[in-house]
């Protein structure tokens, strides 16, 4: 399979996938998916913390920043369908997915699609050092079998109230008129996609799963993180960091070090 290059990453793929430090011959790739209302720029600083052997691919959802004129996705599945297709050429090397908050659900759904395309037969997701989906890192998100969709109409007021209560965005987004106009449409669309997400029979993956979260999140954080282990037949682990839903901002260096250590195993 031909290794994608900067010049070949054009059109739709270039809109979705941002490669701040393109690598012609990486050992592995790490795809990072942002939270509701988030952007690829949230992960661009990660590139400086990653060794040269790891290529970072940051995902840019439609409806924000340089994709502002594009309509926002209406569901988690819509985003996952597009991304699974975009990422297929990058599975010539071991591929890891990291998703925070909404990005965690999207990462799981992308993993489902990539494993289905690869077919059965590889224990724990892959053979050592072989291409394909190598692992899934989930952050700040309930496992699919633990999430319950909201049945009531998801009007803007309901969605905004849920986003505020869950701490899924900086309060300034809601309170500053100039930010509301720019950011709120994408945030509401993303939160609506999360609140309506449901899988009657969640697919159990083969790849390893590691779940991360902040100790200040509401609920029983260790129980919710460990529940991700039920979503794979491969190895599973979890780790809790000091902080709230956005613990990864203050714990970025430690988080990336942990991710790298698990990628090398």
Question: Mind telling me the catalytic residues?
Answer: 101, 245
Q: Which residues on adjacent β-strands are paired with residue 33?
A: 99
Is residue 103 within 8 A of residue 34, CB to CB? The reply is: yes
CA–CA dist 239, 34 (Å, integer): 19
Cα 259 versus chain centre, distance: 14
């Amino acid at each position: 399979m031909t290794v994608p290059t900067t010049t070949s990453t054009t059109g739709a793929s270039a809109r979705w996938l941002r490669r701040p430090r393109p690598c012609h011959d990486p050992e592995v790739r790490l795809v990072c998916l942002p939270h509701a209302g988030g952007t690829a720029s949230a992960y661009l600083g990660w590139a400086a913390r990653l060794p040269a052997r790891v290529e970072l691919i940051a995902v840019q959802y439609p409806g924000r920043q340089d994709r502002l004129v594009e309509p926002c996705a209406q569901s988690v599945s819509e985003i996952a369908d597009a991304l699974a297709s975009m990422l297929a050429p990058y599975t010539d090397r071991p591929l890891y997915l990291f998703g925070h908050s909404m990005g965690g659900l999207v990462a799981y759904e992308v993993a489902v699609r990539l494993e289905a395309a690869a077919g059965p037969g590889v224990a724990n997701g892959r053979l050592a050092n072989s291409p394909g989906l190598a692992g899934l890192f989930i952050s700040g998100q309930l496992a699919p079998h633990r999430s319950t969709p909201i049945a009531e109409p998801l009007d803007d007021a309901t969605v905004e109230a849920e986003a505020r209560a869950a701490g899924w965005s900086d309060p300034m987004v809601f309170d500053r008129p100039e930010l509301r106009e720019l950011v709120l449409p994408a945030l509401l669309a993303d939160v609506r996609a999360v609140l309506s997400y449901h899988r009657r029979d969640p697919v159990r993956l083969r790849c390893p799963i590691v779940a991360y979260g902040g100790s200040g999140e509401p609920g029983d954080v260790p129980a919710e993180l460990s529940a991700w282990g039920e979503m794979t037949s491969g190895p599973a682990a979890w780790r809790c960091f000091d902080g709230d839903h956005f613990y990864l901002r203050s714990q970025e260096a430690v988080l990336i070090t942990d991710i790298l250590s698990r990628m090398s195993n």
